[in-house]
Chains A and B, each alone.
Chain A
Amino acid sequence: MKHKLSVMMLSWEYPPRVIGGISPHIYFLSKFLAKQDVKVYVVTCDFPGAPAHEVIDGVEVYRIDSYKNPSPDFATWVYLMNMNMQRETAILTRKLADKIDVFHAHDWLVANAGIGLKHVFRKPLLVTMHSTEMGRRDGLHTMTEKMIHETEAWLTYEAWKVICCSNYMISHVKYAFGLPSDKLVMVPNGVNIQNCEGNEDLSLFRSKFALPEEKIVLFVGRLVYEKGIHVLINAVPKVLSKVNAKFIIVGSGYMKEQLLNIVRSMGLEHKVLFEGFMDEPTLLKLQRVADVSVVPSLFEPFGIVALEAMAARSPVVASDTGGLSEIIEHDVTGVKVYPNNPDSLAWGISKVLLDQNYAKYVRDNAYRRVQEKYDWEKIAQQTKHIYEGVLGEYSKSFWANSLKP
């Protein structure tokens, strides 16, 4: 290779546009790939106030006009956005002449752009499947869900390699799209430990959320069915019967109104706070003061929020499902409870809140585990190896030959 290994990363979100876990994932992956001497271009959707082009930590970030076309619904918006993303990425790639080595797409949200660019420039396409429609919806019920599922299948078909962030996701993706095993690679998601360090006194900060005698139970996630927030709400009275606590819910989603009504009807508005979306520095502090972090998901491809809590030294109670099952080792790095079971969840929360020594034990183990296994530097290294492996195979293909002048 005459030049630096160069990757065109396609993602529908990148900070400051943060909708879910893909945004921080792309941010850290790109940043640490850049440290590994990989040239990374990120093409993503625009965000009010964010520039159309900037260089962040050595990463070239391009934000495209994603609301150019009126669209009747979300899914159609995605395909129209892909049309614009493809156009702008094609202009950029042509300008860079032959310098892009691989296209790396994240989820179906950039499927069309990734697939189109692969064929136009005859470069390999890699895909990271962060989630699946089948998993998000617990089956395929509507035309939209079937369409998205097929788009995902098409994307994984077109990809040279499909990266998943847990063994659970590997087997799920293999089943959902009928993929051969040798196409799948597991690279865990990472967490940035430096973010979670700090020695300042947080008692004043804590008092904004809870009384000194109240324990803090923290939930961070979108308020949607798959995150199992309704299971936590149903567990609230069961926990309160054993220990005085305040439940802090961070995040928003379509279930918010419904959940608020349940809390109101239980007469527990003073015990459950809905904080909505929260900025990262505040959230990190909150994770540090939380006595327990709860991840009651019904479907969780990876479970980054559990890792973040572990990095912030908050003990974790999580449902034994998906990627969470791999992150949490029961009674060692956290507590695993039965998914979709408020009694089991209440048991797990109470266990951590009532036994200080146990809480400290799992918290310290969890912090060590995060340092050992979920370090972005190692993850970027693994990803670079995958790129190199794919490029080695590609160099012997007729595609590589057809590009020679």
Chain B
Amino acid sequence: MRAIIFSWEYPPRVVGQLSGYVSTLSTQLAYNKVDVNVVTYDDSATGRTQEPSGVKAFRVANPVRNHIGVLTWVLTLNQEVERVAADIYYESKKQVDLIDVHDWHFVPAAVTLKNGLGIPFVYSVESLEDHRSPNANASYNMAIKSIEWLGFFEATAVCVKSNWMKEEVIRIYNVPKEKITVISTDPILFPKEALELYSRVAEAKKNET
């Protein structure tokens, strides 16, 4: 199986807990014979590297340096993420089973790659804008929510880390509950559960074509 993971943080870049989570997940997946490609942002260490575990990390920088907000920053960065993911796709003779996108930042890239190349994606939720900025209804926050909505709408499966989050995703975005998988937070268990989810998504894609 070949998977591409999108995350805006991955070691050495640590913003919150997502960085460590993606690192553990990708390492464990690699040990389970998955060809793991992490596409992430890094301002200076751009290019591709291979970790001892076999995980390949692709770090992209923003092609536009001056920005007026997180939104414009994220939206221009998405094209670089897309470029690298498309390169992985063509270099592997179009054999990419799925993309796992963590949080909203790279949802636009995942959506284009799904619609353009037919690569299904899992939307893994670490946090939601509604919780990060409670009661915020400025157009800035609403725009982020609209990207989250797009992710839920287009994703083949949604991956959350607690039953509470599952309920929240249903409450806020009306996502059908069959689409959501709750996986464990246990560092030993969750990569295996994620792999099971990946296999289901890849299998569903195969049956569809």
Q: What is the chain A residue whose CB lies nearest that of B116?
A: A90
Interface of A is mostly: helix
In the assembled complex, B69 has its CB within 8 A of some CB on chain A: yes
Collect the chain A residues with CB atoms within 8 Å of residue B111's CB. 83, 87
A112 lies within 8 A of B79 (CB): yes
In the complex the two chains form, what is the Cα distance from A403 to B116 in whole Å?
Answer: 14
A148 to chain B, nearest CB (A): 9
A72 lies within 8 A of B66 (CB): no
Collect the chain B residues with CB atoms within 8 Å of residue A120's CB. 82, 86, 112-113, 116-117
B143 lies within 8 A of A150 (CB): no
Collect the chain A residues with CB atoms within 8 Å of residue B142's CB. 69-70
Collect the chain A residues with CB atoms within 8 Å of residue B69's CB. 72, 76
In the complex the two chains form, what is the Cα distance from A72 to B72 in whole Å?
Answer: 11
In the complex the two chains form, what is the Cα distance from A87 to B111 in whole Å?
Answer: 7
In the assembled complex, A147 has its CB within 8 A of some CB on chain B: yes
The B-contacting residues of A in range 84-124, CB under 8 angstroms, are 86-87, 90-91, 93-94, 112, 115-117, 119-122
Collect the chain B residues with CB atoms within 8 Å of residue A86's CB. 108, 112
Also in contact, A151 and B76, with CB within 8 A (given A87-B115, A120-B117):
yes
B116 lies within 8 A of A143 (CB): no
A: number of interface residues (CB 8 Å): 36
Collect the chain A residues with CB atoms within 8 Å of residue B86's CB. 119-120, 122
B72 lies within 8 A of A150 (CB): no
In the assembled complex, A79 has its CB within 8 A of some CB on chain B: yes
Interface of B is mostly: helix
B139 lies within 8 A of A72 (CB): yes
In the assembled complex, B189 has its CB within 8 A of some CB on chain A: no
In the assembled complex, A75 has its CB within 8 A of some CB on chain B: yes
- Most chain A beta-carbon neighbours within 10 Å: one of B72, B117, B147: B72
The A-contacting residues of B in range 117-131, CB under 8 angstroms, are 117-118
Collect the chain A residues with CB atoms within 8 Å of residue B76's CB. 79, 112, 151, 154
Q: What is the chain A residue whose CB lies nearest that of B146?
A: A69
- Most chain B beta-carbon neighbours within 10 Å: one of A70, A117, A121, A144: A70
Collect the chain A residues with CB atoms within 8 Å of residue B82's CB. 116, 119-120
Collect the chain B residues with CB atoms within 8 Å of residue A93's CB. 116
A79 lies within 8 A of B72 (CB): yes
| Chain A 140-162: CB-based contact to B (< 8 A → 1; otherwise 0) | 00011011001100100100000
In the complex the two chains form, what is the Cα distance from A80 to B146 in whole Å?
Answer: 10
In the complex the two chains form, what is the Cα distance from A117 to B116 in whole Å?
Answer: 8
The A-contacting residues of B in range 81-103, CB under 8 angstroms, are 82-83, 86-87, 90-91
B75 lies within 8 A of A143 (CB): no
In the complex the two chains form, what is the Cα distance from A1 to B90 in whole Å?
Answer: 22
In the assembled complex, A201 has its CB within 8 A of some CB on chain B: no
A106 to chain B, nearest CB (A): 17
A73 to chain B, nearest CB (A): 7
Collect the chain B residues with CB atoms within 8 Å of residue A73's CB. 68
In the assembled complex, A282 has its CB within 8 A of some CB on chain B: no
In the assembled complex, A82 has its CB within 8 A of some CB on chain B: yes
Collect the chain B residues with CB atoms within 8 Å of residue A94's CB. 115-118
- Ordered by A's residue number, 6 sampled pairs between the chains whose C-beta atoms are within 8 Å are A76-B72, A83-B78, A90-B115, A115-B79, A117-B112, A146-B66
Please list the residues of chain B having a beta carbon within 8 angstroms of any beta carbon in chain A.
63-69, 71-72, 75-76, 78-79, 82-83, 86-87, 90-91, 108-109, 111-113, 115-118, 138-140, 142-143, 146-147, 150
Q: Which 8 A-B pairs have the closest CB atoms?
A: A90-B116, A79-B75, A70-B142, A146-B66, A70-B139, A90-B115, A119-B83, A120-B116
